[in-house]
Amino acid sequence: MIEAIRDAMDVSMERDGKVVVFGEDVGFFGGVFRCTQGLQAKYGKSRCFDAPINESGIVGSAIGMAAYGLKPCVEIQFADYMYPAYDQLTQEAARLRYRSNGDFTCPIVVRMPTGGGIFGGQTHSQSPEALFTHVSGLKTVVPSNPHDAKGLLIAAIEDPDPVIFLEPKRLYNGPFDGHHDRPVTPWSKHELGEVADGHYTVPLGKAAIRRAGSAVTVLAYGTMVHVAQAAVEETGIDAEIIDLRTLLPLDLDAIVASVNKTGRCVIVHEATLTSGFGAELSALVQEHCFYHLEAPVARVTGWDTPYPHAQEWDYFPGPARVGRALIETMEA
Amino acid sequence: MADAGMLRFHVPEPEVRPGGAPDFSNVPIAAAGSVPRPDIDADPRTIRDMAFSIIRVLNRNGEAVGPWAGLLSADELLEGLRHMMTLRAFDARMQMAQRQGKTSFYMQHLGEEAVSCAFRRALLPGDMNFPTYRQAGLLIAGGYPMVTMMNQIYSNEADPLKGRQLPIMYSSKEHGFFSISGNLATQYIQAVGWAMASAISNDSRIAAAWIGDGSTAESDFHSALVFASTYKAPVVLNVVNNQWAISTFQGIARGGSGTFAARGLGFGIPALRVDGNDYLAVHAVAKWAAERARGNLGPTLVEYVTYRAGAHSSSDDPSAYRPKAESDAWPLGDPVVRLKNHLIRLGAWSDERHAQAEAEILDTVISAQKEAEGHGTLHAGGKPSTREMFEGVFAEMPPHLRRQRQQAGV
């Protein structure tokens, strides 16, 4: 998926001279996850460069560049590091179009690796997506595979508004299904690991059905799409798995159509439970599908603790926990 | 000598509080004309002392003296005087309109008019300011229509920002005036980013960042200085030190650094202090800094030493935290009076013509106000539609907002 993300920036920089890429370790070295490798050599230091360790500075300067007319695509090294930039994102980037009535706009993309599964502890594992979806004026995207990552990132760069692009870091090197004790499968063996050359987009705001089914709807995004797939295979339940891809704008139509068909819904995310994005999904399902529901909406999430180090796999909502929720929802 | 006893906590205090006699005798003020004017490509290390002095042009006799004088003609100065008088009259009327309930909030410039009015003259078309809430002189001196400003203040049907933003948080890309956030210091690093973009694009336009003394304590100020220094961004970094951040005296933000200009030194950024109540000095320093930016010499930090003679905002009462007579005791005087006296000294102006100009300007402001009020005020007359509330969050309205707009019945 690293190559797909890099390819998206490469294609965008090639097509549009206004696209610039910067962040911590992003220039010469090509990023700690190597997502920007080769871009500085290809496009020069004016279009791909290293930034000081200063997240509010990275996002704040990107906003100024966007107001000028460039299209910055910046990297925050870990989503856990974005808090110093939160003011710039929520009060500035998100509101510039609104407060100036379109006099100034902010077409920036802020990429950040999200989620756990690499023994990153409290400060390299967080999933802060709900902190973005709660803010009016931001779009929030979480890809689950290389094909989507490239198409969604190109769409995000071309979008006229600020987009938060959360990259599940455990998916960088393969479709991780939560079985941490098994060997890593590379993307080359996955059907969505194949990435078309050149320019294409995956539209923001459109979910994808990863598995069609009739018994229960699973709403997931990022790494949890693969975990849900494993859980469904292991329980043998005929679930319909929806990969949301974009959390805001949300593809509510796809959710409602599926839940109205299955009558059951399990929501899965890695982020903490309370006030997580699953709460919003659960409320929407209740509001729009209440008379079709045959069981309470279930949520399987990270626990409401900081992301622990040694207990990583006790924290992570793996296929066993998702499977239990599926069975309970079917029996309810 | 070090004192190894019990540790003591230090909280700085201003010299005088309400009830006390204002005293600025410990504020060192350099004589007009005494600070040299270095070449714009001077090595920043050789001009570090400029961060601790005050560049002044107008002396007590109303003469323009020293190496920073002589840049503006009498006609240009007369125009500058008119800009400052217009801003002052505009402020007085809008402050009153707020008291009359025609808007919710207002912020005036009293005593600080020279800073934004004179700075504007150093810019070229296409340059971009990232202002705070106290630089409306950039708009007035740039020819932005007063009626449009008032429409914004009244949030009326002709408000270019459709009623979405607080009064005086103007936006005009066309006039080189970035949308004011109302959040503090965030615009400082954005200005640096805009300037970086101009350099990336091999453009010739420069940016101007604005911040107050109090907000220099924000981390975004330091972010801006790091980025400006690292990338040699074509930006003028302005700090308006008006002595007071609401009720907090400037020593709380400044700490032990001596001056705000000195903050630039650690970043290798040339830092100048200037008499903010001296129209000629502000303009000369702004021009010097703008030429540096345009000449690929990088950023300049400029501290404007001035005094907020009015309240922080329409919601503030300064008599609760500083002596009432403090502004009269301010040693750098009033910017309008000082420029007026200079022009009289030049033989280009008189008390009579000044009084006449004041009356004319007031007429112009009042007729603009009438026109704006014809479009409504905050609580009466024409107002932006409720539908506008849902527009412009994104370029294209997403489904959830369309549903909410429908729910709201608009």
Are B210 and B185 part of one and the same domain?
Answer: yes
How far apart CA A303 and CA A325 sit, in angstroms, is: 15
For domain A208-331, is the CATH number 3.40.50.2000? no
User: How many whole angstroms from its chain centre is CA B175?
Assistant: 16
Here the tokens at position A258 are 């599926």
B279 within domain boundaries:
yes
**B-chain residues near A54 (CB < 8 A):** 223, 226-227
Q: For the CA atoms of A75, A81, A85, A89, what is the dihedral angle to 10 degrees?
A: 70
Q: Are A250 and A287 within 8 A, CB to CB?
A: no
Residues B143 and B68 in one domain: yes
Domain membership flag for residue B107? yes
Which residues of chain A form CATH 3.40.50.970?
2-193
What is the predicted ipTM? 0.97
CB contact under 8 A, A60 and B399: no
The set of residues, in sequence order, having a beta carbon less than 8 Å from that of B23 and lying 6+ positions away, is: B15, B16, B329
Tell if the pTM clears 0.80, that is, is over it.
yes
* Interface contact B398-A87, CB threshold 8 A: no
Same domain, residue pair B262 and B396: no
Would you say A235 and A210 are in contact if contact means Cβ atoms under 8 Å apart? Answer: no
User: What's the mean pLDDT in A72-93?
Assistant: 98
pLDDT at res. B15: 87
User: Which residues of chain A does CATH 3.40.50.920 include?
Assistant: 208-331
Q: Which CATH superfamily includes the segment(s) A2-193?
A: Thiamin diphosphate (ThDP)-binding fold, Pyr/PP domains (3.40.50.970)
Is residue B50 within 8 Å of residue B40, measured between CB atoms?
no
B112 & B209 share domain: yes
Residues of B in contact with A256 (CB under 8 A): none
Is B142 among the domain residues? yes
Specify the CATH number for the domain of residue B198. Answer: 3.40.50.970
User: Same domain for B327 and B347?
Assistant: yes
- Residue B257 is predicted with a pLDDT of 84
Q: What is the mean pLDDT of residues B44-68?
A: 97
pLDDT at residue number B1: 61
Question: pLDDT tens across A246-303, in order?
Answer: 999 999 999 999 999 999 999 999 999 999 999 999 999 999 999 999 999 999 999 9
Instruction: Tell me the pairing of strands A139-141 and A246-248.
Output: antiparallel
Q: Residue B96: pLDDT above 70?
A: yes
Together in a domain, B398 and B307: no
Report residue A241 as tokens.
């798995």
A124 is catalytic: yes
Query: What are the distances in angstroms from CA B101 to CA A48, B49, B378?
Result: 52, 48, 8
Q: Is residue B361 part of a domain?
A: yes
Instruction: Return the number of other C-beta atoms located less than 10 Å from residue B137's C-beta.
Output: 26
Cβ–Cβ below 8 Å for A91 and B398: no
Q: Among residues 240-259 of chain A, which lie with CB inside 8 Å of chain B?
A: 248-250, 252-253
Contact B60, B259 (CB under 8 A): no
pLDDT one-digit tens code per residue, A222-245: 999 999 999 999 999 999 999 999
H-helix or E-strand spanning residue A216:
strand A216-220
Which of A124, A147, A226, A269 is an active site residue? A124
B119 lies in a domain? yes
User: Which residues in chain B have Cβ-Cβ distances shorter than 8 Å to A140?
Assistant: none
Per the CB < 8 Å rule, is B179 touching A252?
no
Taking CA–CA distances from B403, the nearest residue in chain A reads: A252
A129, A138 Cβ separation under 8 angstroms: no
As for how many domains chain B has, the answer is 2
Q: How confident is the model at residue A171 (pLDDT cuts 50, 70, 90)?
A: very high
Task: Give the pLDDT confidence of B269-321 residue by residue, as tens digits.
Answer: 999 999 999 999 999 999 999 999 999 999 999 999 999 999 999 999 999 99
Q: Look at residue A142 in the predicted model and tell me its pLDDT.
A: 98
- Do residues A59 and A89 lie in contact, with contact meaning Cβ atoms separated by under 8 Å? yes
**CB–CB contact B171 A101 (8 Å):** yes
Range of the domain at B394: 386-410
Check whether A40 has a pLDDT greater than 70.
yes
Q: What's the DSSP call for residue A93?
A: I
Q: Using CA atoms, how far apart are residues B286 and B354, in angstroms rounded to an integer?
A: 27
Based on the domain organization, do B390 and B355 belong to the same domain?
Answer: no
Which of the four pLDDT bands, split at 50, 70 and 90, describes residue B92?
A: very high
How many angstroms separate the CA atoms of B314 and B107, rounded? 6
* Secondary structure element (H or E) that encloses residue A114, with its range: strand A109-114
For residue B207, the chain A residues in CB contact (below 8 A) are: 64
Residue B4 has pLDDT above 90, yes or no: no
Q: How many residues does chain B have?
A: 410
Residues in CB range of A254: below 8 A, 6 or more apart: A206, A207, A209, A242
- Other C-beta atoms within 10 Å of B26: how many? 6
